[in-house]
């Protein structure tokens, strides 16, 4: 039995996903470049409360996520 898609919000846009999907799966479909950046640590993801999440975060109906690229250049850490 296939379940009906559930609504979630990604960077202010409504999306519909299959129940049981993860944030990484949504990003892979919606913005593959941003999905790669999140997996590599050059982007950050937060939920609707501003709490950091990762690409394995399960999606539930009405969830809100913001994923942005980091403004810091990749390279050695500041001393």
pLDDT tens, residue by residue, 32-78: 999 999 999 999 999 999 999 999 999 999 999 999 998 765 555 55
> How far is the C-alpha of 24 from the C-alpha of 42, rounded, in Å?
14
User: Given this model, what pLDDT does residue 3 score?
Assistant: 83
Q: What angle do CA 44, 28, 7 make, to 5 degrees?
A: 85
User: Given this model, what pLDDT does residue 5 score?
Assistant: 95
> How far is the C-alpha of 35 from the C-alpha of 5, rounded, in Å?
21
Is the pTM here over 0.75, yes or no?
yes
Structure token pair of residue 47 = 């939920």
Q: Decide if 14 contacts 6 (C-beta within 8 A).
A: no
């Amino acid at each position: 039995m296939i379940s009906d898609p559930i609504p979630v919000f990604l960077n202010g846009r409504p999306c519909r996903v299959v129940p049981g999907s993860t944030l990484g799966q949504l990003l892979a479909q919606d913005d593959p470049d941003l999905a790669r950046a999140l997996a590599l640590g050059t982007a950050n993801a937060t939920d609707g409360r501003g709490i950091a999440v990762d690409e394995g975060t399960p999606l539930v109906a009405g969830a809100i996520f913001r994923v942005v690229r980091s403004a810091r250049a990749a390279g050695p850490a500041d001393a």
